[in-house]
Chain A
Amino acid sequence: MTTTPSPELRPGVPPAGRTTAVAARATELSKIYGQGETRVVALDRVSVDFRQAEFTAIMGPSGSGKSTLMHCVAGLDTFSSGSVRIGDTELGSLKDRQLTRLRRDKIGFIFQAFNLLPTLTALENITLPMDIAGRKADRTWVDHVIRMVGLSERLSHRPSQLSGGQQQRVAVARALASKPEIIFGDEPTGNLDSRSGAEVLGFLRNSVRELGQTVVMVTHDPVAAAYADRVIFLADGRIVDEMYDPTADSVLDLMRSFPGGNPQTPGFDAKGRTS
Chain B
Amino acid sequence: MFRTALRNVLAHKARLLMTVLAVMLGVAFVSGTLVFTNTVSDALQKSSAKGFERVDVAVRPEYQDSEGNEVGKTPELTQALLDKAARVPGAASATGVLSGFTAVADKDGKLVGGDWQSAGGNYWGTKDPRYPLVSGHAPRGKGEVLIDSGTAKRAGYRVGDTVRLSVDGPVLTPTVSGIFTTDDGNVAAGGSLTLFDTPTAQALFGKKGTYDEIDVQAEAGTGQSTLKAALDKALPAKLVETTTGKQLADDQARMISASMSGLKQGLLVFAGIALFVGTFIIANTFTMLVAQRTRELALLRAVGASRRQVTRSVLIEAFAVGTVAGVTGLAAGIGIGAGLRSLLSSFGATLPGGPLVISPGTVATALAVGIVITMLAAWLPGRRAAKIPPVAAMSSVHAKATTRSLVLRNTLGALLTAAGITVILAATRMNADTGQGLMGIGAVLLIVGVFVLTPLLSRPLIAAASPVLRVFGVSGKLARQNSLRNPRRTAATASALMIGLTLITGMTVMAASLQMSIDKMASAAIRADYVVSMANRGPLSPDVARKVASADGVTLSSPLRNGESRIDGDTEFLTGVDGSAIGELTDLKVTDGSFTVDGTRIVVDEDRAEEHGWKAGSQFTAHFEDGKAQRLTVAGVYEGNDMLNGIILDDKVLTPHLSDPADMQVMVKTADGASETAKHTLEKALGTNPAIKIQDKQDVSDEIGKMFTQVLNMVYGLLGMAVIVAVLGVINTLAMSVFERAQEIGMLRAIGLDRRAVKRMVRLESLVISLFGGVLGIGLGVFFGWAAGELLGTKMPTYELVLPWGRMTVFLLLAGTVGVLAALWPARRAARLNMLSAIKAE
Mask for A149-177, Cβ within 8 A of B = 1, else 0?
00000000000100000000000001000
Is A71 among interface residues, defined by CB-CB distance under 8 A?
Answer: yes
Task: Find chain B residues with CB under 8 A from A118 CB.
Answer: 401, 485, 744
Are B743 and A114 neighbours in the complex by a CB distance under 8 Å? yes
Task: Find chain B residues with CB under 8 A from A104 CB.
Answer: 751-753
Bound Cα distance A103, B842 (Å): 22
Task: Find chain A residues with CB under 8 A from B482 CB.
Answer: 119
Q: How many whole Å from A172's CB to the nearest CB in chain B?
A: 13
Is B4 among interface residues, defined by CB-CB distance under 8 A?
Answer: no
Of the candidates A67, A71, A96, A103, the one whose C-beta lies within 8 Å of that of B755 is A96
Q: How many whole Å from B399's CB to the nearest CB in chain A?
A: 10
Are B753 and A100 neighbours in the complex by a CB distance under 8 Å? yes
In chain A between 131 and 151, which residues have their CB closer than 8 angstroms to a CB of chain B? 131-134
Are A128 and B751 neighbours in the complex by a CB distance under 8 Å? yes
Mask for B190-212, Cβ within 8 A of A = 1, else 0?
00000000000000000000000
Q: How many whole Å from A144's CB to the nearest CB in chain B?
A: 20
Are B842 and A113 neighbours in the complex by a CB distance under 8 Å? yes
In chain B between 740 and 781, which residues have their CB closer than 8 angstroms to a CB of chain A? 743-744, 746-757
Mask for A118-132, Cβ within 8 A of B = 1, else 0?
111000000011011
Q: How many whole Å from A192's CB to the nearest CB in chain B?
A: 12
Of the candidates B484, B743, B836, the one whose C-beta lies within 8 Å of that of A71 is B836
Task: Find chain A residues with CB under 8 A from B140 CB.
Answer: none
Task: Find chain B residues with CB under 8 A from A96 CB.
Answer: 754-755
Are B841 and A274 neighbours in the complex by a CB distance under 8 Å? yes
Closest to B480 in A: A119
Are A131 and B751 neighbours in the complex by a CB distance under 8 Å? no
Bound Cα distance A118, B743 (Å): 12
Are A129 and B751 neighbours in the complex by a CB distance under 8 Å? yes
Q: How many whole Å from A271's CB to the nearest CB in chain B?
A: 9
Bound Cα distance A119, B479 (Å): 10
Task: Find chain A residues with CB under 8 A from B835 CB.
Answer: 76
Are B840 and A275 neighbours in the complex by a CB distance under 8 Å? yes
Contacts known (A97-B755, A131-B477); A117 close to B836, Cβ less than 8 A: no
Task: Find chain A residues with CB under 8 A from B753 CB.
Answer: 100, 104, 132
Task: Find chain B residues with CB under 8 A from A105 CB.
Answer: 752
Are B744 and A117 neighbours in the complex by a CB distance under 8 Å? yes
Q: How many whole Å from A74's CB to the nearest CB in chain B?
A: 8
Is B43 among interface residues, defined by CB-CB distance under 8 A?
Answer: no
Is A209 among interface residues, defined by CB-CB distance under 8 A?
Answer: no
Q: How many whole Å from B171's CB to the nearest CB in chain A?
A: 75
Contacts known (A77-B836, A117-B478); A101 close to B743, Cβ less than 8 A: no
Mask for B473-502, Cβ within 8 A of A = 1, else 0?
110011001101100000000000000000
Bound Cα distance A96, B477 (Å): 23
Task: Find chain A residues with CB under 8 A from B485 CB.
Answer: 118-119
Bound Cα distance A97, B754 (Å): 6
Are A186 and B839 neighbours in the complex by a CB distance under 8 Å? yes
Contacts known (A114-B839, A274-B837, A274-B840); A119 close to B754, Cβ less than 8 A: no
Bound Cα distance A96, B749 (Å): 10
Task: Find chain A residues with CB under 8 A from B481 CB.
Answer: 117, 119-120
In chain B between 693 and 749, which residues have their CB closer than 8 angstroms to a CB of chain A? 743-744, 746-749
Of the candidates B751, B756, B841, the one whose C-beta lies within 8 Å of that of A275 is B841
Task: Find chain A residues with CB under 8 A from B842 CB.
Answer: 113-114, 273, 275
Bound Cα distance A114, B746 (Å): 9
Is A196 among interface residues, defined by CB-CB distance under 8 A?
Answer: no
Most buried by B among A96, A105, A134: A96
Task: Find chain A residues with CB under 8 A from B743 CB.
Answer: 113-114
Mask for B269-281, Cβ within 8 A of A = 1, else 0?
0000000000000
Task: Find chain B residues with CB under 8 A from A108 CB.
Answer: 751
Is A79 among interface residues, defined by CB-CB distance under 8 A?
Answer: no
Bound Cα distance A108, B747 (Å): 11
Of the candidates B474, B749, B755, the one whose C-beta lies within 8 Å of that of A128 is B474
Are B750 and A103 neighbours in the complex by a CB distance under 8 Å? yes
Q: How many whole Å from B815's CB to the nearest CB in chain A?
A: 24
Bound Cα distance A185, B484 (Å): 31
Q: How many whole Å from A222's CB to the nearest CB in chain B?
A: 23
Most buried by A among B473, B744, B751, B840: B751
Is A109 among interface residues, defined by CB-CB distance under 8 A?
Answer: yes
Are B755 and A100 neighbours in the complex by a CB distance under 8 Å? yes
Bound Cα distance A219, B746 (Å): 21
Are B836 and A100 neighbours in the complex by a CB distance under 8 Å? no
Bound Cα distance A131, B750 (Å): 14
Is A115 among interface residues, defined by CB-CB distance under 8 A?
Answer: yes
Task: Find chain A residues with CB under 8 A from B474 CB.
Answer: 128, 131-132, 134
Task: Find chain B residues with CB under 8 A from A55 CB.
Answer: none
Q: How many whole Å from A187's CB to the nearest CB in chain B?
A: 10
Q: How many whole Å from A196's CB to the nearest CB in chain B?
A: 15
Mask for A257-275, Cβ within 8 A of B = 1, else 0?
0000000000000000111
Contacts known (A111-B747, A118-B401); A131 close to B473, Cβ less than 8 A: yes
Task: Find chain B residues with CB under 8 A from A71 CB.
Answer: 836
Bound Cα distance A120, B753 (Å): 15
Are B750 and A76 neighbours in the complex by a CB distance under 8 Å? yes
Task: Find chain B residues with CB under 8 A from A97 CB.
Answer: 754-756
Closest to A119 in B: B481
Bound Cα distance A274, B841 (Å): 6
Bound Cα distance A128, B753 (Å): 10
Q: How many whole Å from B190's CB to the nearest CB in chain A?
A: 59
Closest to B841 in A: A275
Contacts known (A115-B747, A134-B473, A275-B842); A129 close to B837, Cβ less than 8 A: no
Closest to A120 in B: B481
Task: Find chain A residues with CB under 8 A from B840 CB.
Answer: 67, 274-275
Contacts known (A120-B481, A186-B839, A275-B842); A100 close to B744, Cβ less than 8 A: no
Bound Cα distance A175, B750 (Å): 12
Bound Cα distance A104, B747 (Å): 11
Closest to A115 in B: B747
Contacts known (A119-B481, A134-B473); A129 close to B752, Cβ less than 8 A: yes
Q: How many whole Å from A70's CB to the nearest CB in chain B?
A: 11
Contacts known (A117-B478, A120-B481, A132-B474); A101 close to B754, Cβ less than 8 A: yes
Bound Cα distance A119, B487 (Å): 13
Bound Cα distance A133, B747 (Å): 15
Are A103 and B752 neighbours in the complex by a CB distance under 8 Å? yes
Closest to B752 in A: A104
Q: How many whole Å from A21's CB to the nearest CB in chain B?
A: 24
Q: How many whole Å from B167's CB to the nearest CB in chain A?
A: 76
Q: How many whole Å from A69's CB to the nearest CB in chain B?
A: 13
Contacts known (A71-B836, A274-B841); A117 close to B748, Cβ less than 8 A: yes
Q: How many whole Å from B751's CB to the nearest CB in chain A?
A: 5
Task: Find chain B residues with CB under 8 A from A132 CB.
Answer: 473-474, 748, 751-753, 757
Task: Find chain A residues with CB under 8 A from B478 CB.
Answer: 117, 119
Are A103 and B841 neighbours in the complex by a CB distance under 8 Å? no
Bound Cα distance A275, B840 (Å): 7
Are A101 and B752 neighbours in the complex by a CB distance under 8 Å? yes
Q: How many whole Å from B558's CB to the nearest CB in chain A?
A: 74
Bound Cα distance A57, B493 (Å): 47
Closest to A131 in B: B474
Closest to B839 in A: A111
Bound Cα distance A30, B18 (Å): 42
Closest to A113 in B: B842
Task: Find chain A residues with CB under 8 A from B750 CB.
Answer: 76, 103, 109, 111
Bound Cα distance A15, B744 (Å): 40
Task: Find chain A residues with CB under 8 A from B751 CB.
Answer: 103-104, 108-109, 128-129, 132, 174
Closest to A68 in B: B836
Bound Cα distance A97, B756 (Å): 9
6 contacts between A and B (CB under 8 A): A77-B836, A103-B750, A118-B401, A119-B478, A129-B751, A132-B757
Seed contacts A96-B755, A103-B751; 17 additional CB < 8 Å A-B pairs: A67-B840, A71-B836, A76-B839, A77-B836, A100-B752, A104-B751, A104-B752, A107-B752, A109-B747, A109-B751, A114-B842, A118-B744, A132-B473, A132-B751, A160-B401, A274-B841, A275-B841
